[in-house]
């Protein structure tokens, strides 16, 4: 049998240095999951089918084994998700025996609650917020666990692990509760809810290294594949479907690409890559000089784009 040690203890138990870091981060994330279940009545895990939420699912499995994950998964489907991600989502939920709740942005559009953006940069990304808040209210979820990380974006870097939202889902960035040591205060009033971020302290590389080490399956679009694409503003966009608006003079070519994040198709650009395996993806991330969200057009709208969306209840 083995001895569990975290890297904080020894720093020498594993040969590959990137794996070790994940151990302390892994214990921290498991600790956070257990606090959520102990402190809240009705938690839910926000599942997008992306690598961060897939990592969350694995951590939740570890936190409660041999019991099943004690909360459902919620996917806010923009209707513009990559088909590979949707197929993957359904299969994973089935394998885990966990309830999967899907709520569609299209329903909010049809009901006239939100208006579809138009034009060259139209995206359903920001429309997700309304559907998310509706779903939290419908099921009376008091804690929504998400895969956001502080290294993603500088407004995220200011967010707490337990982030309290008011009845309107708003983030009050100037009045956040201090988080000391690892003590998490989940006390809320009726109507409020808390967004929980167990992998706050992980970097993109930590997530990829963890996926590699744990041999976690992820959707195929994360690996290099041939795709019909066109170039706009120096970024590569998928042309395989009519979700992304394309001008007549934007020429479609087949390129070898992969995706670093899998948000809404309309705001997620691809990168040129020949990384067909997880080892190669990890190698690529390590060498990359462009940040992960550099390929997310939703953050490029303005310097405060993320902060504004969060104030409105975005996760």
Among positions 48-67, residues that touch other proteins (CB under 8 A) are 61-67
Q: Which two tokens stand for residue 219?
A: 């959707």
Q: Beta-carbon neighbour count of residue 47 at 10 Å? A: 26
Residue placing its CB nearer to other proteins in the complex, 20 or 275: 20
| Minimum distance from residue 132 beta carbon to other proteins (Å) | 22
Q: Which of 203, 252, 256, 280 binds other proteins (CB under 8 A)?
A: 203
| Minimum distance from residue 203 beta carbon to other proteins (Å) | 5
Tell me if 38 contacts other proteins by CB under 8 A. yes
Phi and psi, residue 300, nearest 5°: -85, -5
Nearest CA among 169, 182, 160, 113 for reference residue 141: 169
By CB under 8 A, which span of 119-127, 198-206, 253-261, 277-285 interacts with other proteins? 198-206
Residue pair 240/228 in contact (Cβ under 8 Å)? The answer is yes
Q: Which of 181, 190, 247, 248 binds other proteins (CB under 8 A)?
A: 181
> Rounded to an integer, what distance in angstroms lies between the CA atom of residue 264 and that of residue 277?
23
Tell me if 30 contacts other proteins by CB under 8 A. yes
Name 181's Cβ contacts closer than 8 Å, sequence gap at least 6. none
Provide the edge-to-edge strand list for the sheet that holds 162-165: 100-104, 73-77, 43-46, 143-145, 193-196, 162-165
Residue 236's H or E segment, with its range, is: strand 235-238
Tell me if 182 contacts other proteins by CB under 8 A. yes
**Restricting to residues 282-301, which ones interact with other proteins according to CB under 8 A?**
288-291, 294
Nearest CA among 50, 76, 75, 105 for reference residue 268: 50
Residue placing its CB nearer to other proteins in the complex, 181 or 248: 181
By CB under 8 A, which span of 110-118, 122-130, 140-148, 176-184 interacts with other proteins? 176-184
| Minimum distance from residue 85 beta carbon to other proteins (Å) | 25
Phi and psi, residue 288, nearest 5°: -65, 145
Tell me if 307 contacts other proteins by CB under 8 A. yes
Tell me if 272 contacts other proteins by CB under 8 A. no
**Restricting to residues 81-110, which ones interact with other proteins according to CB under 8 A?**
none
> How many chain residues are in contact with other proteins, going by CB under 8 A?
71
> Rounded to an integer, what distance in angstroms lies between the CA atom of residue 298 and that of residue 306?
8
Tell me if 217 contacts other proteins by CB under 8 A. no
Residue pair 232/250 in contact (Cβ under 8 Å)? The answer is yes
Q: Which two tokens stand for residue 278?
A: 């997880």
Residue placing its CB nearer to other proteins in the complex, 103 or 165: 165
Q: Which of 94, 120, 140, 177 binds other proteins (CB under 8 A)?
A: 177
> Rounded to an integer, what distance in angstroms lies between the CA atom of residue 86 and that of residue 92?
10
**Restricting to residues 114-173, which ones interact with other proteins according to CB under 8 A?**
150-151, 153-158, 164, 173
Q: Which of 86, 100, 188, 216 binds other proteins (CB under 8 A)?
A: 188
């Amino acid at each position: 049998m083995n001895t569990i040690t975290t890297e904080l203890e020894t720093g020498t138990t594993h040969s590959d240095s990137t794996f070790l870091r994940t151990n302390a981060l892994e214990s921290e994330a498991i600790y956070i999951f257990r606090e959520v279940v102990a402190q809240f009545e009705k938690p839910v895990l926000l599942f997008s089918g992306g690598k961060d939420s897939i990592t969350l699912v694995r951590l939740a499995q570890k936190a409660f084994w041999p019991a099943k994950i004690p909360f459902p998964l919620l996917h806010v489907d923009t209707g513009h998700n990559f088909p590979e991600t949707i197929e993957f989502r359904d299969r994973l939920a089935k394998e885990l025996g966990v309830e999967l709740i899907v709520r569609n942005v299209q329903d909010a559009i049809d009901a006239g609650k939100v208006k579809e953006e138009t034009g060259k940069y139209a995206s359903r990304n920001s429309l997700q917020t309304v559907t998310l808040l509706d779903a939290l209210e419908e099921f009376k979820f008091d804690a929504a666990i998400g895969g956001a990380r502080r290294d993603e974006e500088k407004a995220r870097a200011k967010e707490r692990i337990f982030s309290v939202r008011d009845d309107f889902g708003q983030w009050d960035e100037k009045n956040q509760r201090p988080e000391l040591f690892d003590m998490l205060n989940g006390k809320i009033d009726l109507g409020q809810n808390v967004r929980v971020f167990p992998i706050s302290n992980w970097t993109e590389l930590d997530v990829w290294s963890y996926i590699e080490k744990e041999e976690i399956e992820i959707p195929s679009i994360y690996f290099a594949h041939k795709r019909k694409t066109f170039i706009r503003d120096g970024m590569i966009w998928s042309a395989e479907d009519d979700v992304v608006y394309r001008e007549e003079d934007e020429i479609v070519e087949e390129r070898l690409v992969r995706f670093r994040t899998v948000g809404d198709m309309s705001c997620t650009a691809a990168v040129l890559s020949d990384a067909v395996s997880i080892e190669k993806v990890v190698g690529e991330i390590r060498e990359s000089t462009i940040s992960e969200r550099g390929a997310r057009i939703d953050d490029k709208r303005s310097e405060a784009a993320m902060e504004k969306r969060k104030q409105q209840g975005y996760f």
